Amino acid sequence: MALVTTGVVVLDCAEPEKLAEFYKELLEAEHVDASANRVEVHTADGFRLALRRDMNATAPSWPRPENSLQAHLEFVAEDLDGVERRIVSLGGRPTESGDPSGAAEERGYADPAGHSFTVRRGVPTAPKQG
């Protein structure tokens, strides 16, 4: 019998309700649990993401070294241009672009609260540089 049976990614932020809306729309997810300090969304394929209120939350500054990347999410998509338009329309912002000619094209973004995430096409074959 497994000691751990399930998991959920939790992002701290000042306004979990607003950030949950961003991810709900981006991932076509559903709200499944909400309290005064936490909102959780689930996708159709079982991915679980919780947004927890932290009044002292400070957005990571990646790629700058101060308060740098602590963790990030990674999503897979075929239409990277379409996903980018969707992210920006929901209040996210681009932070970097990968080499569009590469086999594993990826692009970096920040959600409305500043958490970084990557959208990629293909499977990474090399370690992250920097």
Tokens representing residue 12 in the block: 């701290």
The mean pLDDT value of the chain amounts to: 80
Residue 13, burial from CB neighbour count under 10 angstroms (0-12, 13-18, 19+): buried
Q: Which of 53-57, 64-68, 107-111 has the lowest mean pLDDT?
A: 64-68
Q: Can you state the angle between helices 16-27 and 80-89, rounded to 10 degrees?
A: 150
DSSP code for 1: -
Residue 126 has pLDDT above 50, yes or no: no
> What is the rounded CA–CA span in Å between residue 104 and residue 125?
8
What is this structure's pTM? 0.70
